[in-house]
Amino acid sequence: MREVVAPSNRYIQPYALILGTNEIASAVAVEMRRAGWSVVLAHDPFPPVIRRKMAFHDALFGESVVIEAIEGVLAEDVLDLLDALNASQHVIVTRLQLPDLIALRTPEVLIDGRMQMYRVTPDLRHIAPMTIGLGPNFVVGENCDIAIETKPSRSGRLVKRGSSEKADHDPQRLGGLGKERFVHASREGLWHTAVDIGVRVFKDFVVGRLDGLPVCAPVDGVVRGVARDGSRIAPGVKVLEIDPRGRDAQWTGIDNRSTLIARSVLKAAQGGELERAAKSNSSILA
What are 70's strand-pairing partners?
67
Q: Using CB atoms within 10 Å of the CB of residue 257, give its burial: 0 to 12 exposed, 13 to 18 middle, 19+ buried.
A: middle
CA-based R_g, the chain, Å: 19
> In this predicted model, what pLDDT tens digit does every residue of 221-244 receive, in sequence order?
999 999 999 999 999 999 999 999
Does the pLDDT of residue 285 top 60, yes or no? no
What pLDDT score does 275 carry? 64
Split at pLDDT 50, 70, 90, the class of 284 is very low
Split at pLDDT 50, 70, 90, the class of 274 is low
- The residues, any chain, with a CB within 8 Å of residue 218's CB and separated by 6 or more, are 180, 181, 182, 183, 203, 240, 242
Per-residue buried b or exposed e for 145-158, using 16+ beta carbons within 10 Å of the residue's own CB: bbbbbbbeeebbbb
Does the pLDDT of residue 112 top 70, yes or no? yes
Q: In this predicted structure, which of 18-22, 39-43, 85-89 has the lowest mean pLDDT?
A: 85-89
Distance between CA atoms of residues 234 and 189, nearest Å: 7
Q: Maximum Cα–Cα distance for the chain, whole Å?
A: 70
- The residues, any chain, with a CB within 8 Å of residue 82's CB and separated by 6 or more, are 4, 5, 7, 104
Split at pLDDT 50, 70, 90, the class of 11 is low
Distance between CA atoms of residues 258 and 216, nearest Å: 27
> In this predicted model, what pLDDT tens digit does every residue of 177-213 receive, in sequence order?
999 999 999 999 999 999 999 999 999 999 999 999 9
pTM score, two decimals? 0.90
Does the pLDDT of residue 87 top 80, yes or no? no
Domain with residues 15-168+258-285, CATH architecture? 3-Layer(aba) Sandwich (3.40)
Sequence letter at residue 222: V
What are 208's strand-pairing partners?
193, 215
Average pLDDT, the chain: 90
What pLDDT score does 13 carry? 85
% of the chain at pLDDT higher than 90:
76
Which CATH number fits the domain 179-244, given the four candidates 2.40.50.100, 3.20.20.70, 3.30.70.20, 3.40.50.300? Answer: 2.40.50.100
Same fold for the domain at 15-168+258-285 and the one at 179-244?
no
Looking at residues 85-109, what average pLDDT do you find? 89
Does the pLDDT of residue 148 top 80, yes or no? yes
Q: Where are the domains of the chain?
A: 15-168+258-285, 179-244
Distance between CA atoms of residues 81 and 201, nearest Å: 40
